[in-house]
Structure 1
Amino acid sequence: MYSRKIRHVTKSNVLAAAVSLLVIILAGLPIFYLAIRGLISGKELRELIFSQRTVQLFANTILLSSTVLCVCFALSLPLAWLTTQTNVLGRRLLVILSTAPLVVPSYIGAYAVITAFGPGGMLVEAAPQVYGFWGAVMTLSLYTYPYLFINLQTAFLSSDESLKEASYSLGYGPLITFFRIVLPTLVPGLLSGAILVLLYTISDFGAVALLRYDTFVRAIYIQYEASFNKEYAAALGLIVMSLSASFILIKTHIHQRFLFRGSGKNHRPSKIVDLGMWRWPVSVIAYTIPILALGLPIVVTGYWLIQGLASEENLKLPISAVTGSFSAAAVGAIVTGVVGLAVAYISLRHHKNPLVRAMEAVIHIQYGLPSIAVALAFVFFVIRFAYPLYQTFFLLILAYSIRFLPHTVGASKTALAHIHPQVYDGAKSLGASKSRIFRTITWPLARTGIIGGMTMTFLNIVKELPLTLVLSPLGFETLATNMWGSMEEAFYARAAVPALIIILLSSLSIAWVLPKTARDGNWERSESGIG
């Protein structure tokens, strides 16, 4: 019996190591490719990196990401404070609306901005030229500020009222108390949200491409479309990867200094601030931001649909695009769900294994890379080593599965972690097989988390643009690529149909991106706490 147990443990360890190694190879392909191309190119790579064109792209990317971050901070800080510390009207609704812009893809946001304020748009006479830097700033700020808002809201809810009262008792006013007491407690949330905004901005493709603002990601796609310059595309991808890693390291270094500032068991939630006569004006201003972000694409798509119908334009439902989106998303979600469940199980059972830890790290690192860099890495690798797979549905699903694996791994891991090991031990002692244990224990207890991760994957695949543009088979189209093609040809009315469908589908994910406070009812604090 003891030898049988040893054989079982050894077999389990070997299987975990094999799966981990396979996932590391597949998920790490973009990282390995960029690193190898850098080593091979040598002197030529250095010349490309320090060329005038690359320096300009670097400056553009840094300027865009830093400006978007500043605008997001200016939008998010007041909203987070109002929804957690004041009696602003409809706090629950304001939180939902302020979080909802996350479901709008950046290319649909850019489409809304262009068709509203661009040449020939709805409000062209009322707005300046939207193409270029300021158009990209406006679009990306409106659809990335929720990342910062969610984290700052959580930080405000974690602030301790007793610390502020202590500051007041020492004679310090509200302004000094905010900078010396409140602001340091917001730093962890601020950093967590800021890194998400920065990573999203430097890796965004849809908005900068449609608004014609040159960043690293747009330049990578142009190299692929125009001359297929492997060296330069790889050099730019390597820079983006290094830039992302630098942001993460800086965030981690600063974050360590602000980890332990809580007051432990004596923590008291903040009192609600009564806005008094300013309650209505402040509420109107606060609601303007999310309503603009959500209302603009909805109003614009509706306007162009009506315009297209009025001019008798052929606005047929893109059946092939709908079929392509649903087939790719359904297959991708199922494959990613199965793989994610296996990876989550292995990471929980073999968390001390170095290969397993490396697998988890690689999965999340590749997710931080731009989609276009991931797509090109697959293209270059397949053309060189597995050409029959080039532009096949299999390769597209493989890329989707690797790209969105963190969604299903995280959701499945959280769900499985809530099942106590003794439950499995009890079932095994009763002679239950592994398949029966999964059917009767694992699936019923963990299916909500597993299905949730698969749902998020499905919706992300429907919205995904760069991977689909580069890797999809000839003649295959999705809602995202159909809209992209219409936008490139300036067929605004035709682009409105797939845009509206994507918005409707994306709205389903609101329940998964709402902050925890929205579900736990943290707005139900007594109004007697107003101070």
Structure 2
Amino acid sequence: MPDSIGSQTRDDSFRMIVLMDLDSPRLARQVTVLLAALIVLLVVSPVLHLLFGVVHAPADLAGIVQTIETWRMVGRSVALALLVAFGAMALGTALAWLLVRSRVSGFMRGLLLILLVAPLAMPSYVVAFGLMAVTGHEGLLSGLWPAALRPTQLPAVSSWVILVSCTYPYTLLSVRAALMKECTTLEEAAIGLGASRRGAFRAILMPRLLPSMVWGGMLAGLYALADFGAVSLVGFETMTWGIYHRYNTAFGLADARALCVLLIALSALMILGLIPFRAAQSRTTSAVPIPPAPIRFGRWGVLLVGLAILPLAIAVVFPLVAAIGWLARSDMPGAVLHAAGPAAWTTFLLAASAAIVVPVLALPLATLHVGTAGGGSARRWARVLTPLTLLGFALPGLVVAIALAGLALRVDHVIEWTFGLPVDARLYQSHLVLLIAYAILFLPEAAGPLRATAQRVHAEQIDAAVQFGGSPLARWWRIVLPQLAPGLAAGSVLVFITTAKELPATLLLSPLNVQTLATRLWSAMEEVYFAIAAAAAIWLLGLVVIGVAIILIIERLSDANDR
């Protein structure tokens, strides 16, 4: 009897110690940091795997570097990225100036902003489909369009036009934000002293806008460097094109991995180039912004309107016209549209799964920004770990897919050799590996809105909960999580949209006989089945439009709550 009483007392004491430890802020901080570090390790695992392979087989990298074809692909990729960056800088800056400084009413200004940002939601391969289905061989305007100007005849020019039309909103949004924060006093003073408006812009405003311009242009260049869909459809042989074609050959896997390492190195150089301009962005804004007087553009207004219409036509109107036109040309448009239904349902399920999983993975990092896991040390960990999560944005989907395919095959081999693994239970080309790829690629989309909302969590409520004895978990659940809800919702919708239109990782990692709208459109375009591609494009655009509408609703509700 005494032994049983003593045993019960020891059990109760142990349970109390465990509960006290679970309720301690230090343990909560350690658990949060550990979870965030594990998520960051997941994000960097593709790069580590590829680098590990190069270290253990340096001859593969040495062999691919010594070929002329490799350097031609590198030259094309770098040239395309730089030209897209400069094109997006010029076009985005001009349109941002039009939006902020023109004599346009508030409603029309908002509508124009939505229209001009719309190309950012369009996948590059859908824009390529629109251009080819309208102006290409057997396109809607093939009889009127010169054969020498078809997209496949001018792959470099076509790639540049498509990618600039898709990426100029990066510069537009960045420069527009800088313009809205600018104080116009110096600019107006220079004009009052006799300088022309153009001279005042060059001397005063341009140096202050330059960091935002370069930031947007470099993001566009990074997008172009990683693009696979558009360049492959028009036949421009960049590094992503080379990686994909080597991966699909019997003995080209080692070459594909070596090219992936080269592409990672180029992406890293571009990211390093972004850092000083990102820092300069925060230093070049005015303390007290003064709304500028509207400018009458005169004949320049016609040019600016033309600049606004042209990329909008290429990125939005052409795909819509091509999709509707080719669907109407088919004998049974309803049947063709219905045939894409299973792919649409698969796309929805995959995108919805990613929209649930990826924001949940971003929660530990967001919690570190709140500081509820332990004061200043949590914020220090946040500063270390958060930049690493942005690697997913910089890594091409093709690189992530090839790295994860290699990891999955290695794990399958080990488990099969150790335990014996059925073919249908393998990791390679499973939904799990595909979901991991989406998590690596789209964690920045979820982490961005969550980080913004986490930094606005009211510290007074958390301090009050501490005073009343609330545990760290209870404080997080009752106070922090409800305030993170808007960022969680916005991040989920962003992940849904980007997952629905993702092509290269889905193309390489999706299970056999599983087809999404992106892969269906890709396959149809490879075989020049424009009607089938049109049906997939209509379904895909419908999903994207619904997602964008939800984001706008969330922003309106968030602004209303702030007021």
- Scaled by the length of structure 1, the TM-score of the pair is 0.89
Q: Of the candidates 16, 30, 53, which is equivalent to residue 32 of structure 2?
A: 16
Equivalents in 2 of 1:396, 1:520: separation in Å? 32
Measured in 1, the distance between the counterparts of 2:391 and 2:194 equals: 48
Cα shift at 1:275: 3.4
Report if aligned partners of 1:308, 1:494 keep a CA contact under 8 Å in 2. Answer: no
Q: Deviations over 1:269-300 (max 9, x none)?
A: 32211235876785466444424431111111
Residue 409 of structure 2 corresponds to residue 378 of structure 1: no
Q: Which residue of 2 aligns with 1:122?
A: 140
Whole-Å Cα distance in 2 between the matches of residues 73 and 262 of structure 1?
19
* Cα distance per residue 1:316-363 (max 9 Å; x no partner): 332321221111111121111211123311354356356654432321
Is residue 200 of structure 1 aligned with residue 226 of structure 2?
no
Q: Is the 8 A contact 2:95 2:304 kept in 1?
A: no
Q: Quick check: 1:368 aligned with 2:368? A: no
Contact 1:88 1:283 in 2 (8 A): no
The question of whether the paired residues in 2 share the 8 Å contact of 1:155 and 1:188 is answered with no
Q: Counterpart of 2:260? A: 237
In 2 relative to 1, CA 53–281 (structure 1 residues): closer, same or farther, beyond 3 Å?
closer
Alignment of 1:248-267 (within 5 A): 248-253=271-276, 260-265=283-288, 267=289
Asked whether the 8 Å contact 1:161–1:268 carries over to 2, the reply is yes
Aligned twin of 2:91 = 75
Could you tell me whether the CA contact under 8 Å between 1:94 and 1:287 is conserved in 2? Answer: no
1:343 paired to 2:368: no
Q: Which amino acid aligns with 1:30?
A: P
Q: CA deviation at 1:72?
A: 2.2
Cα shift readout 1:244-289 (whole Å, capped 9, x = no counterpart)? 1212222334565676445534x43322112358767854664444
Q: Does 1:92 align with 2:110?
A: yes
CA contact (8 A) 1:45 1:235 kept: yes
Counterpart-to-counterpart distance in 2, 1:281 and 1:66: 24
CA RMSD of the aligned region, Å?
Answer: 3.1
Query: Does structure 1 residue 150 correspond to structure 2 residue 176?
Result: no
Shift of 1:421: 2.9
Q: Distance in 1 between matches of 2:313 and 2:336?
A: 31
Return closer, same or farther for 1:467/1:292 CA change in 2, 3 Å cut-off.
closer
Q: Which blocks of at least 5 consecutive residues in structure 1 are unaligned?
A: 522-531
1:44-443 mapped onto 2 (5 Å cutoff): 44-88=60-104, 90-125=108-143, 126-127=145-146, 128-131=149-152, 132-227=155-250, 229-253=252-276, 260-265=283-288, 267-275=289-297, 283=305, 286-309=308-331, 314-349=336-371, 352=377, 356-387=382-413, 388-430=426-468, 437=475, 440-443=478-481
Whether the 8 Å CA contact 2:50–2:403 is kept in 1: the answer is yes
> Following the alignment from structure 1 to structure 2, what is the Cα–Cα distance between the partners of residues 458 and 98?
22
Give the Å deviation of 1:112: 0.6
Task: State the secondary structure of the residue aligned to 1:352.
Answer: helix
Max radius of gyration: which structure? 2
Per mean C-alpha deviation after superposition, the further-off stretch among 355-364 and 300-309 is: 355-364
Amino acid at match of 2:119: P
* Counterpart Cα distance in 1 of 2:557 and 2:93: 21
Q: Are residues 347 and 38 of structure 1, via their aligned partners in 2, closer, same or farther at CA, if it must alter by over 3 Å?
A: farther
User: Any conservation in 1 of the 2:89–2:216 contact (CA below 8 Å)?
Assistant: no
Distance in structure 2 (CA, Å) of the matches to 1:441 and 1:7: 16
Normalised TM-score (structure 2): 0.84
| Conservation of the 8 A alpha-carbon contact between 2:54 and 2:60 | no
Structure 2 distance, partners of 1:70, 1:189, is 13
Give the distance between the partners of 1:50 and 1:71, measured in 2 at CA.
32
Secondary structure at the counterpart of residue 356 of structure 2:
helix
CA distance in 2, matches of 1:311, 1:399: 34
Alpha-carbon distance change, 474 to 281 in structure 1, aligned in 2, over 3 angstroms? closer
1:458 to 478, 493, 496: 496
Q: Report if the CA contact (8 A) 1:65-1:198 is conserved.
A: yes
8 Å contact from structure 1 (residues 160, 263) kept in 2: yes
Change (3 A) 1:458 1:228: farther
- Quick one: structure 1 residues 26 and 311, their matched pair in 2 at CA, closer, same or farther if it must change by over 3 Å? closer
Deviations 1:24-51 (A, max 9, x none): 3211111112222232233442332242
- Shift of the 280–172 alpha-carbon distance from structure 1 to 2, 3 Å rule, reads closer
Deviation at 1:497, TM superposition (A): 1.0
